[in-house]
């Protein structure tokens, strides 16, 4: 349990606090709940950069961190997008549903692809790309814009940029997944002798 992993776990623990405080705010209208929710989200977003810096600078990369770090990002952003896509007027603006759908669709596609590759190849390799990091920053920007209660057309443009970069990163994940599957011998057609062995095994079992 490295320091970087402890910071990542702190990010995960802040997520339910963030969700509860936003729900309290839209029900009561008390600004203190919005400030606490905003603070939780901002701290979790800052810790995203902090744990990465600690892991690289102090050589604390680990298998656990490789799983927890993207998991913390997904949980934070998906929970925020889904929560803020409901109508919370007049307290908060609404995150466009098409952005929430794009984020959810990309993440579901990524999880399904990882499962398929793991079952077929045995190990899935996810290569972080700059466009994915930009998409994460833009998604966080959309959430912060809504929580800060800023108004104007900037939210629509910010959401559009987040949706485009999220979609591109999803397509790149699909491309990487197809390449991993195509290079695996298990994804190719069976050889005649393997098909014969499979058929004889079924006959003997009958």
Is the model more confident about 192 or about 161? 161
Cβ atoms of residues 141 and 162 within 8 Å: yes
Burial 182-194 (b: 16+ CB within 10 A, else e): eeeeeeeeeeeee
Distances (CA, A) of 147 to 31, 33, 39, 98, 122: 11, 11, 10, 19, 42
Q: What is the arithmetic mean of pLDDT over 8-27?
A: 94
Q: What is the pLDDT of residue 36?
A: 97
Percent of residues, the chain, with pLDDT higher than 70? 88
**Cβ-based neighbours of 75, under 8 Å, separated by 6 or more:** 12, 15
Q: What is the pLDDT of residue 54?
A: 82
Q: What is the pLDDT of residue 65?
A: 73
- 86 pLDDT above the threshold of 80: yes
Q: What is the pLDDT of residue 203?
A: 56
Is the model more confident about 143 or about 182? 143
DSSP for residue 188:
S
Q: What is the pLDDT of residue 184?
A: 66
- 193 pLDDT above the threshold of 80: no
- 204 pLDDT above the threshold of 60: no
Greatest CA separation found in the chain?
A: 72
- Listing DSSP states for 125-156 in one string gives -----HHHHHHHHHHHHHHHHHHTT--STHHH
pLDDT band at 20 (very low <50, low <70, confident <90, very high): very high
Nearest to 174 by CA among 138, 132, 122, 202: 132
Q: What is the arithmetic mean of pLDDT over 11-33?
A: 95
- 108 pLDDT above the threshold of 70: yes
Going from N- to C-terminal start, the domains of the chain cover 1-88, 93-188
Which H or E element spans position 94?
A: none
**pLDDT tens digits along 47-57:** 888 877 887 87
DSSP for residue 90:
T
Q: What is the pTM of this model?
A: 0.83
């Amino acid at each position: 349990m490295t320091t970087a992993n402890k910071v990542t776990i702190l990010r995960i623990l802040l997520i339910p606090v963030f969700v509860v405080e936003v729900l309290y705010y839209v029900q009561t209208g008390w600004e203190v709940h919005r400030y606490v929710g905003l603070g939780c989200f901002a701290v979790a977003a800052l810790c995203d950069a902090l744990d990465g810096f600690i892991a690289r600078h102090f050589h604390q990369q680990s298998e656990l961190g490789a799983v927890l770090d993207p998991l913390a990002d997904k949980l934070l952003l998906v929970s925020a997008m889904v929560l803020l896509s409901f109508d919370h007027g007049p307290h908060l603006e609404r995150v466009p549903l098409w952005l929430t759908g794009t984020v959810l669709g990309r993440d579901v596609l990524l999880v399904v692809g990882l499962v398929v590759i793991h079952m077929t190849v045995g190990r899935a390799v996810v290569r972080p790309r700059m466009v994915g990091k930009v998409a994460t920053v833009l998604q966080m920007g959309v959430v912060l814009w809504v929580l800060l209660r800023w108004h104007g057309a900037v939210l629509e443009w910010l959401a559009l940029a987040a949706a485009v970069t999220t979609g591109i990163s999803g397509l790149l994940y699909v491309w990487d997944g197809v390449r991993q599957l195509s290079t695996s011998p298990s994804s190719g057609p069976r050889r005649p002798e393997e098909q014969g062995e499979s058929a004889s095994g079924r006959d003997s079992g009958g």
